[in-house]
Amino acid sequence: MKRWTAISLVVVIVGGLFVYNKYFKKGSEKGPDGKAAEGGKGGDGKGKGGPGGGGPTSVNGFIVIQQALKEEVVATGSLLANEQVDIFPEVSGRITQLNIREGQPVAAGTLLIKLYDADLKAQLQRLIVQEENARRIEERNKQLLARGGISQQEYDIVVTNLKSASADIEVVKANLRRTEIRAPFSGVIGLRNVSLGAYVTPNTLIARLQQTSSLKLDFSIPEKYGSSIKQGSEVRFMVDAFAKPFTGQVYALEPAVDEATRNLRIRARVNNTQSQLRPGSFAKVTLTIQNERGMIVPTQAVIPQTRSKQVVLVKNGKAVFKDVTTGIRSASTIQILSGIQVGDTVATTGLLFLKPDGDVKVSRMVTLQSIKPIEQPGSARPAQPDSTPAAEPRQAKL
* For range 65-84, the mean pLDDT: 88
Q: Over 70: is that where the pLDDT of 18 sits?
A: no
Please compute the mean of the pLDDT values over residues 345-353 and round it to a whole number: 90
Kindly tell me the sign of the dihedral angle through the C-alpha atoms of 124, 129, 132, 134: negative
Q: 153 exposed, middle or buried (CB, 10 Å; 0-12, 13-18, 19+)?
A: exposed
**Model confidence pLDDT, tens digit, residues 244-299:** 999 999 999 999 999 999 999 999 999 998 889 999 999 999 887 766 788 889 98
Nearest to 99 by CA among 110, 88, 115: 110
Q: Once rounded to an integer, what is the mean pLDDT over residues 48-75?
A: 77
Note the pLDDT of residue 24.
Answer: 53
Mean pLDDT of 156-179: 94
Distance (Å, whole) CA 137 – CA 14: 147
Label residue 305 by pLDDT band (50, 70, 90).
Answer: confident
Q: Report the chain's C-alpha Rg in angstroms.
A: 44
The dihedrals phi and psi of 389, each to the nearest 5 degrees, come to -65, 155
- pLDDT at 398 (0 to 100): 32
What per-residue confidence (pLDDT) applies to 32?
Answer: 42
pLDDT at 373: 54
Query: Which residues, in sequence order, are CB contacts of 167 under 8 Å at separation 6+?
Result: none
3-state secondary structure 124-154: HHHHHHHHHHHHHHHHHHHHHHHHCCCCHHH
Calculate the average pLDDT of the chain. 82
Contact call for residues 82 and 216 (beta carbons, < 8 A): yes
For helices 118-147 and 152-178, give the axis angle rounded to 10 degrees: 160
Look up residue 30 and give its DSSP letter. Answer: B
CA–CA dist 269, 252 (Å, integer): 9
Look at residue 10 and tell me whether its pLDDT is greater than 70. Answer: no
CA distance 214 to 81: 7
pLDDT of residue 36: 42
pTM for this predicted structure:
0.59
Quick one: average pLDDT of 222-242? Answer: 88
Q: pLDDT of 109-157, one tens digit each? A: 999 999 999 999 999 999 999 999 999 999 999 888 888 888 899 999 9
Provide the 10 A C-beta neighbour count for residue 332: 21
pLDDT, tens digit (0-9, with 9 covering 90-100), for 171-215:
999 999 999 999 999 999 999 999 999 999 999 999 999 999 999
